[in-house]
Structure 1
Amino acid sequence: MSSSSLLQAPQWLALAFSLCFMASFGLRQWLALRQIRHVARHADAVPALFADRLPLDAHRKAAAYTVARVRLGMLDGLIGALLLLGLTLFGGIGALHLWLLDWLGTGLGQQLALVGAVLALGSAVDLPLAWYRQFRLEQRFGFNRMTLGLWLADLVKATALGLVLGAPLLAALLWLMNAAGERWWLWAWALWSGFNLLLLVIFPTVIAPLFNKFVPLDNEALKTRIEALMARCGFASKGLFVMDGSKRSSHGNAYFTGFGRARRIVFFDTLIERLAPVEVEAVLAHELGHFKLRHVTRRMLSGFAISFGVFALLGWLAQKSWFYLGLGVTPMLDSSNAALALLLFFLAMPVFGFAFGPVGSWLSRRDEFAADAFAARQSDAHALISALVKLYEDNASTLTPDPLYSAWHDSHPPAPLRIARLAALGG
């Protein structure tokens, strides 16, 4: 590459980033407006497939809830976009970097402080919307059961947990970037992968109990039914637990978590209260389908492969001065730019990667259909339909999403299509 081309590289990156930013932001907002209009337009008529299953008032509530959430998401997206521009092209990270250099000097401490300050700024900007989402939006639709004290306690716990787990990881990553040579990114990827595997192991027994109470399932009839299902599916777990989800929300769910011998099955207490035993079994059969069909393993391995590529790309970009200059920061010539590289890369990556969102959504929806088919074989398709309809009602999930919005964003298939396929499987 000629010297004149090298001089133009920062401008090309700034232009590419600006164009991708405008395209991704504009597309997100346009899709959100489509969703609002489409859901509102169909709010006064329950889809034919659900006409005898769901009352009109529940359908209207779901439409209003969906519209309110999407509108709040649009505001959240606007604030996030302004913050991103302020930190990058308008020089926010560069200014903060220089200020911390004057205060702390060069070294690992300054780099940790820079990353921590940007993360703290993002959290502070998000905090008012998080409060509004919980105590205004969720409250308005009857879902919130959380007190302000519990919300603040969760915030403190999450912050402390982030510091205890995240700070050492960040320090190790920055140290590797500075000390491990040109192949630092390979060691960083190995560290990142190991950290995520550790989280899978400790989450059920160490992290989750910090926020919720888990008690063994004491409904013997349901327990017998679930254990028979697990035997049919060849799934071994360390126990069946009920989580006190009702202290925060009326939404219900079931999931399995952990890794290897630490796996456990968890039911929200709201789910146990709302669904009949055969419906709980069908919901769990769907979740076990993800395990039996190796969706979980495939997603985990795909995540490791993608992160390998991400770290390799970061390792290459971190050596290029145009990468920093094109995103609004002047790199240091006589000290480490590790923190700058991390911040700029992970701020810019979603902008350039937004176009890949529909691919992930499509793959996820494909897996959901496959897990439904597995549940229909191992349990009862009609019981799963009944359970899903109750969950759609209880969670105020819209039955009429905009097709384009759904294709781009939704990890689960639209309700009518999902129910129709299950009905066909059930005969």
Structure 2
Amino acid sequence: MSSYLASLFQRNDINWKAIGALFLVANYAFKTYLNYREYNVTLHPKPPVVVEKEITQEQFVKSQNYTRDHLKFSLIRDTSELVKELAILYFNLLPQIWGLAGKVGSYLGGVKLFSGIFGGVTLQSVLFFAIKKTLELIYVIPRSYYFDFFIEEKWGFNKQTRSKFFRDSLLQIVVVQAFHAAATFIFVKIVDFFGGDFAKYASVAFLVGLLFIQTVVPTVILPLFHKFTPLRDGELRIKIEELAKKNGFPVKKLLEVDGSSTSSHSNAFFTGLPWNKQIVLFDTLIEQHTTEEIVAVLAHELGHWKLGHIWQITALIAALVSGNFLLFTAAFESTPLAVSFGFTGASPIVNLVLFSYLSWPVDFSFQIFHNIVTRKNEYQADNYALKQGYKDELASGLIRMNQKNLSSLDTDWLNSLCTISHPNLVERLQAIGYDPKEKVGNLPEKDRIINNEKEETRG
């Protein structure tokens, strides 16, 4: 198959740019169709029977309206992305960026530091990707601003100031550029050194980089955007430590992050090396949930760790990238591919970018498979929490989290299959055999008092 693909990429009579544009339009059309199906689901007049005792009609209508706003924004986002990508292809902007990178590289090549480390084509490749990525990140800033300060603020979720938004946007560009520059440099050097056998070495490098990012981002990068503080002593900390000890989870740090500085959405996660883990709770999660519910949510997260889901998903992602690298071996030296997109000659990093326009069928198929696996893992993690004795607490925690985040109670099956990695609330409650009891409203009085004390302590 690889030899057949290689022969295809050596043909001069195939318009690869047209095929790439066709895939862009096909992807946009299908996503729009999925959004249309999902929008119709949000028109249901009443909540599903499973949660009709827990969710008020007012809460249901509010979540439906919020979901519709998200779907409308998705249409704006997808349309703007399609226009951007088609404009890039139509006006041959990628070759122009490559030429600009070459001019800047020629200038920097006179600097001993750059010439000694990078060399001509390597430096041009790094600059090409840097310029391209910077323009893309700047392009999405107005859209992100609209989402945060109009849609999220309309529903009471946005808590960040405009100065923080622009500061974080600028910082994001710097951080992303640092990672991309390193990745581009390593990839080009691997191709230069190993030639047509680069795929397996690039795959190993990607896996190492992925593990590095999973370790470094939560401990080094996220603190640049948020404030992390040790979880204060008290009942919650004691119960989390007991849960971790019971499950053999090597937790070294329990941290609270000020998620409320940007959003009132809540979450929890754990990070770190296999022998040195830290659990991170959003302050919004602590404020909005009972201690028992938080412990139940963490029991679910520990289920992912105990059942090997994290390594499983990492292996899946690595397999996708390895597969794409293997396919790319047929195209990495293809001059016809580069010429079709307006370039004068082939280059590994250029051809990799161009190949991404053609890999949509593979990426889309993987996304569906990834969603299926991830949804299965969510059910298994819920079941793990049940076996820990947190059935009712997990159910009430999921319901309250759904209410606070205005998450959709129901989803279209096809859209769920193609784009949604987690089961919705109804599916999860049915899977754990939850028996509807009563509405899950505000926190009990004792928990409101506890959380008020937490807030005063932070103040």
Using the size of structure 2 for normalisation, the TM-score is 0.84
Alpha-carbon separation, structure 2, partners of 1:285 and 1:337: 49
- Deviations along 1:307-347, one digit per CA (max 9) or x if unpaired, are 22222222331122333244x23342xxx612311221234
Alpha-carbon separation, structure 2, partners of 1:284 and 1:139: 29
User: 1:257 deviation in Å?
Assistant: 1.4
Alpha-carbon separation, structure 1, partners of 2:93 and 2:128: 11
1:75 aligns with 2:89: no
Which residue of the partner structure matches residue 29 of structure 2? 26
2:17–2:89 Cα contact (<8 Å) kept: no
User: 1:171 deviation in Å?
Assistant: 1.9
1:409 aligns with 2:419: yes
What letter is aligned with 1:415?
L
Larger CA deviation: 199-208 vs 270-279 = 199-208
User: 1:19 deviation in Å?
Assistant: 4.0
What letter is aligned with 2:156?
G
Larger CA deviation: 88-97 vs 365-374 = 88-97
Q: 1:265 aligns with which of 255, 258, 279?
A: 279
2:41–2:412 Cα contact (<8 Å) kept: yes
Q: Secondary structure at the match of 2:251?
A: coil
User: 1:52 deviation in Å?
Assistant: 2.0
**Aligned pairs (5 A) from 1:177-192:** 177-192=191-206
1:214–1:244 Cα contact (<8 Å) kept: yes
Larger CA deviation: 170-179 vs 213-222 = 170-179
Which residue of the partner structure matches residue 329 of structure 1? 342
1:221 aligns with 2:235: yes
User: 1:405 deviation in Å?
Assistant: 1.4
Alpha-carbon separation, structure 1, partners of 2:434 and 2:46: 24
Alpha-carbon separation, structure 2, partners of 1:166 and 1:100: 15
Q: Secondary structure at the match of 1:11?
A: coil
Which residue of the partner structure matches residue 129 of structure 2? 115
Runs of 4+ in structure 1 off by over 6 angstroms are 4-7
In structure 2, relative to structure 1, the CA distance for the partners of 1:219 and 1:387 (3 Å cut) is farther
Alpha-carbon separation, structure 1, partners of 2:339 and 2:364: 22
User: 1:291 deviation in Å?
Assistant: 0.7
Q: 1:296 aligns with which of 282, 296, 310?
A: 310
Alpha-carbon separation, structure 2, partners of 1:286 and 1:29: 33
Q: Secondary structure at the match of 2:209?
A: helix
Q: 2:401 aligns with which of 391, 395, 402?
A: 391
Structure 1: gaps (5+ residues): none
**Aligned pairs (5 A) from 1:337-416:** 337-350=347-360, 352-416=362-426
**Aligned pairs (5 A) from 1:44-63:** 44-63=45-64
Aligned-pair Cα RMSD in Å: 2.5
- Deviations along 1:151-191, one digit per CA (max 9) or x if unpaired, are 11212222222233332332222233334433233333332
2:67–2:408 Cα contact (<8 Å) kept: yes
**Aligned pairs (5 A) from 1:241-252:** 241-252=255-266
User: 1:18 deviation in Å?
Assistant: 4.3
2:23–2:357 Cα contact (<8 Å) kept: no
What letter is aligned with 2:405?
N
1:380–1:426 Cα contact (<8 Å) kept: no
Alpha-carbon separation, structure 1, partners of 2:182 and 2:11: 38
2:385–2:391 Cα contact (<8 Å) kept: yes
In structure 2, relative to structure 1, the CA distance for the partners of 1:226 and 1:379 (3 Å cut) is farther
1:146 aligns with 2:160: yes
2:50–2:436 Cα contact (<8 Å) kept: no
Larger CA deviation: 164-173 vs 134-143 = 164-173
Larger CA deviation: 128-137 vs 48-57 = 48-57
- Deviations along 1:211-257, one digit per CA (max 9) or x if unpaired, are 11112221421122112212222211121111111111101111111
2:268–2:281 Cα contact (<8 Å) kept: yes
User: 1:90 deviation in Å?
Assistant: 5.0
1:325–1:331 Cα contact (<8 Å) kept: yes
Which residue of the partner structure matches residue 274 of structure 1? 288
Q: 2:267 aligns with which of 253, 256, 260?
A: 253
What letter is aligned with 2:378?
E
Which residue of the partner structure matches residue 11 of structure 1? 14
Alpha-carbon separation, structure 1, partners of 2:288 and 2:151: 23
Which residue of the partner structure matches residue 38 of structure 2? 35
- Deviations along 1:182-216, one digit per CA (max 9) or x if unpaired, are 32333333322222222222233222211111122
Alpha-carbon separation, structure 2, partners of 1:150 and 1:237: 31
Q: Secondary structure at the match of 1:230?
A: helix
1:331–1:337 Cα contact (<8 Å) kept: no
Structure 2: gaps (5+ residues): 107-119, 438-459
What letter is aligned with 2:313?
R
Alpha-carbon separation, structure 2, partners of 1:282 and 1:27: 38
1:361–1:407 Cα contact (<8 Å) kept: yes
Alpha-carbon separation, structure 2, partners of 1:238 and 1:425: 37
Alpha-carbon separation, structure 2, partners of 1:156 and 1:18: 31
Using the size of structure 1 for normalisation, the TM-score is 0.90
User: 1:424 deviation in Å?
Assistant: 4.9
What letter is aligned with 1:382?
D
Q: Secondary structure at the match of 1:400?
A: coil
Larger CA deviation: 352-361 vs 209-218 = 352-361
User: 1:267 deviation in Å?
Assistant: 0.7
Which residue of the partner structure matches residue 197 of structure 1? 211
Percent identity between the aligned chains? Answer: 25
In structure 2, relative to structure 1, the CA distance for the partners of 1:110 and 1:36 (3 Å cut) is same
2:257–2:280 Cα contact (<8 Å) kept: yes
User: 1:8 deviation in Å?
Assistant: 5.1
Q: Secondary structure at the match of 1:234?
A: coil
1:243–1:268 Cα contact (<8 Å) kept: yes
